[in-house]
């Protein structure tokens, strides 16, 4: 849409230029009369134009907002405004701009995906499922890759509500599992064979993803390969040292697979410094039982 709009503007400029040249030839070298001199209002508007252009160049958000008003059918500009608002810490404004982009084009995947992520971070999962349902139902037009990305987000919302069966069905309806969500769902379940296959497959597209390496480590740990699992957890930490789950899983590995309580306590302290979420009560249960490793959603890099 933007490219078409720019082409139209370029054509308009070209035609205007030709008209000016034709008038010049017809009029010879005569001086302009009072009738065709610019009015006071025209001169003021012309003087303001450079200032407006300069202001837009200094303020990208102002430009995006202005362009959004100028091109009411184009979803890119409100999406661009949302990016800038989010960067500036204007969360409410960013969400409103994303919704404006989706209102202009219900199949605009960048805005749908970003709005899905925003709702996920706020725990607004039911709302997100309603938002993304038309994509699953095939009622909006988008490429296979875009649809796969949006459906991955939808599956994560369903999983967050404990609807793992629905989430697996959603991922099965995508052309491919770009985000490794299928692997994430597999390691949350009890089918170790599927977890092994899906986490291995996820590595092909997510080698720079801390979450994918973490989940691969879980699958390897379940298969009894503690050494290979440790390498995956360590790789996840290399990619994102502030991601808590790999430390939690290393604590489990050290305590129940290596039987090294000291190393387990050290790993757990690293985890505890980043997060106090303790899904399997590892803090209290460090001395008994075998807690479940923590899988991670998404492909955070």
Classify domain 184-301 by CATH number: 1.25.40.10
Quick one: pLDDT at residue 21? 26
Residue 65, phi then psi, degrees to nearest 5:
-65, -40
Average pLDDT, the chain: 82
Mean pLDDT score, 10-21: 28
> Is the pLDDT score of 34 beyond 80?
no
Quick one: pLDDT at residue 113? 96
**CA–CA gap between residue 178 and residue 212 (Å, rounded):** 11
Quick one: pLDDT at residue 220? 97
**CA–CA gap between residue 146 and residue 154 (Å, rounded):** 13
Q: pTM here?
A: 0.71
| pLDDT tens-digit readout, 45-82 | 566 656 555 555 579 999 999 999 999 999 999 999 99
Exposed / middle / buried, residue 188 (Cβ in 10 Å: 0-12, 13-18, 19+): middle
Domain spans of the chain, in order of start: 184-301
> Is the pLDDT score of 120 beyond 50?
yes
Going 117 to 123 to 124 to 128, the CA torsion angle's sign is positive
| pLDDT tens-digit readout, 200-227 | 999 988 899 999 999 999 999 999 999 9
């Amino acid at each position: 849409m933007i490219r078409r709009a720019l082409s139209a503007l370029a054509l308009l400029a070209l035609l205007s230029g030709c008209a000016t040249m034709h008038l010049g030839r017809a009029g010879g070298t005569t001086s302009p009369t009072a009738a065709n001199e610019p009015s006071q209002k025209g001169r003021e508007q012309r003087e303001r134009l450079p200032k407006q252009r300069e202001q837009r160049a200094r303020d990208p958000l102002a430009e995006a907002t202005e362009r959004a008003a100028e091109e009411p059918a184009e979803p890119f500009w409100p999406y661009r405004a949302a990016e800038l608002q989010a960067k500036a810490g204007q969360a409410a404004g960013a969400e409103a701009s994303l919704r404006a982009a989706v209102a202009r084009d219900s199949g605009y995947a960048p805005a749908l995906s970003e709005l899905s992520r925003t709702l996920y971070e706020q725990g607004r999962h039911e709302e997100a499922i309603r938002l993304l349902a038309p994509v699953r139902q095939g009622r909006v037009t988008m490429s296979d890759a875009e649809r796969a990305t949006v459906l991955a987000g939808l599956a994560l919302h369903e999983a967050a509500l404990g609807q793992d069966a629905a989430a697996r069905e959603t991922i099965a309806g995508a052309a491919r599992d770009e985000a490794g969500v299928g692997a994430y769902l597999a390691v949350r379940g009890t089918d170790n064979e599927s977890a092994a296959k899906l986490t291995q497959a996820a590595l092909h597209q997510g080698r720079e993803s801390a979450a994918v390496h973490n989940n691969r480590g879980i699958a390897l740990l379940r298969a009894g390969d503690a050494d290979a699992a440790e390498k995956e957890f360590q790789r996840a930490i290399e990619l994102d040292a502030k991601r808590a789950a790999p430390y939690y899983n290393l604590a489990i590995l050290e305590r129940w697979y290596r039987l090294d309580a000291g190393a387990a306590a050290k790993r757990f302290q690293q985890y505890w410094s980043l997060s106090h979420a303790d899904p399997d009560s590892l803090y209290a249960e460090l001395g008994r039982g075998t807690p479940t490793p923590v899988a991670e959603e998404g492909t955070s890099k």
